[in-house]
Amino acid sequence: MEHVLSSAQFGKEDLGDLFERADYFKKHNAEPRDEATRHLGRSLCTLFYQPSTRTRLSFEAAGGRLGMSIISTENAADFSSAIKGESIEDTIKIVNGYAHLIVIRHPEAGSAARAAEASEIPVINAGDGGNEHPTQALLDTYTIREKAGRTGNLDVAIGGDLLYGRTVRSLVDIMSRVYEGNTFTFIAPDDLQISPDIEMALRGRDIPYRKTSSLEDGLDGADVVYWTRLQAENIQDVYKKQRILAAIASGDFILDKKALGYMPASAIILHPLPRVGEINPEIDGYPQAQYFKQAHNGLPVRQAVIDRLLSNHAEIA
Ligand code: CP
């Protein structure tokens, strides 16, 4: 594996190996030892053209835990030479001279693939527009494995903004393609329901799924509840945005104490975060609420991804 651009690159064996490696890092992160120098002398560049808290900081922390130095531009759209009109390709070629691995977030779908095309060092897609966020799907699946105790035969309820959110696209791919027996319930207002291409992929795999706009109906029987925020920044149509905001504001899509009553007590609630009102903090202390632990799993999972890419890369290993 040269780059990480899409969840589609990962099969069952890959994920098993990666998660075992993440288990190792998670177990040993509290006591820095050999791993702290594993990639000493190498540099990680985080090139973020969109805001981020978790992805950028966990990648930088992961690189640091492996001994790497970090070079970063957290607002590349304004503070890199992109503002002067430099192309992604030229920026990547320059960074190739300074770093051993690039993590890129960019508002355009396909931008990470363009970056990889221009790069001789590994590139990781940290979110390209509404397209994909593959390492988020890896840490989501890792958390499901850890907290639900399995990755197959699960009733997965996915709610919120299913149309504009890139994390949903990557997660549904992995949970429907790689693991057997999973079924899906998509809970959203009509304007935000799952996109036709994801439905087509599920139908092509004979995966049972249903769509609903009712929280009570959708959460019934769920083993995993995966919630998402409205990606308002990705909606250009002003009228559509107002209609959606009104639907969300109605409270029909907010996970709160009442919503906890609709799902089994054993369900786990995940969210890629940030949340902006769609999960009431009143449920944060309940055992179902696993979203902060999920975000923390970004560290060992991203350590495992970095370690794999650098170890695989012939010119670097
Ligand atoms: N989950 C996620 O991608 O969060 P950030 O935007 O903070 O990186």
Tell me the per-residue pLDDT of 136-146, one tens digit each, with 9 for 90 and over.
999 999 999 99
Rounded to the nearest whole angstrom, what is the distance from the C-alpha of residue 164 to the centroid of ligand 1?
14
CA of 58, closest atom in ligand 1: 8
Q: Is the CB of 54 under 6 A from ligand 1?
A: yes
Task: Specify the ligand 1 atom closest to the Cα of 55.
Answer: 8
Ligand 1 within 6 A of 288 CB?
no
- State how far the Cα of 107 lies from the Cα of 103, in Å rounded to an integer: 14
Residue with tokens 């799993």: 297
pLDDT of residue 32: 60
- What pLDDT score was predicted for residue 315? 55
Residue 43 alpha carbon to ligand 1 centre in Å:
22
Whether 185 has a pLDDT exceeding 90, the answer reads yes
pLDDT of residue 236: 76
3-state secondary structure of 50: coil
Binding site membership of 229 for ligand 1 (Cβ less than 6 Å) = no
pLDDT band, residue 11 (cuts 50/70/90): very high
**CA 200/CA 206 separation, integer angstroms:** 10
How far apart are the C-alpha atoms of 159 and 192, rounded to whole Å?
9
- In this prediction, residue 164 carries a pLDDT of 80
**Does residue 66's CB lie within 6 angstroms of at least one atom of ligand 1?**
no
Instruction: Determine the pLDDT at residue 74.
Output: 78
| The pLDDT of residue 33 | 65
pLDDT category of residue 171 using cuts at 50, 70 and 90: very high
**Across 14-30, average pLDDT:** 92
Higher-pLDDT residue of 248, 217: 217
User: Is residue 148 over pLDDT 80?
Assistant: yes
Sheet with 123-128: strands ordered across: 69-73, 43-48, 101-106, 123-128
How do residues 86-119 score in pLDDT, each as one tens digit?
Answer: 899 999 999 999 999 999 999 999 999 999 999 9
Mean pLDDT for all residues in the chain: 92
- Entry pTM: 0.94
Closest C-alpha to 295, from 276, 275, 265, 267? 275
Cα angle: 124, vertex 126, 127; to 5 degrees: 130
Selected residue with higher pLDDT from 49 and 244: 49
Residue 55 is a catalytic residue: yes
- Quote the Cα angle for 17-22-23, to 5°: 95
pLDDT at 34: 66
170 lines ligand 1 (CB under 6 A): no
For 191-235, write each residue's pLDDT tens digit.
889 999 999 999 999 999 999 999 999 999 999 999 998 777 667
Stretch 109-132: mean pLDDT: 95
Q: How far apart are CA 79 and CA 84, in angstroms?
A: 10
Asked about 105 being catalytic, the answer comes back as yes
- Between CA 183 and CA 196 the distance in angstroms is 17
- Counting from 1 in the atom list of ligand 1, the atom nearest the Cα of 272 is 1
Distance 53 CA to ligand 1 centre (A): 6
Protein residue whose Cα sits closest to atom 5 of ligand 1:
52
For 253-271, what is the mean pLDDT?
Answer: 96
* Per-residue pLDDT, 100: 97
Q: Is 54 a catalytic residue?
A: yes
The answer to whether residues 39 and 307 touch, using CB atoms and an 8 Å cutoff, is yes
C-beta of 135 in contact with ligand 1 (< 6 A): no
Catalytic residue among 42, 54, 166, 229: 54
Q: Is 46 in the pocket of ligand 1 (CB under 6 A)?
A: no
**Is residue 317 very low, low, confident or very high in pLDDT (cuts 50, 70, 90)?**
very low
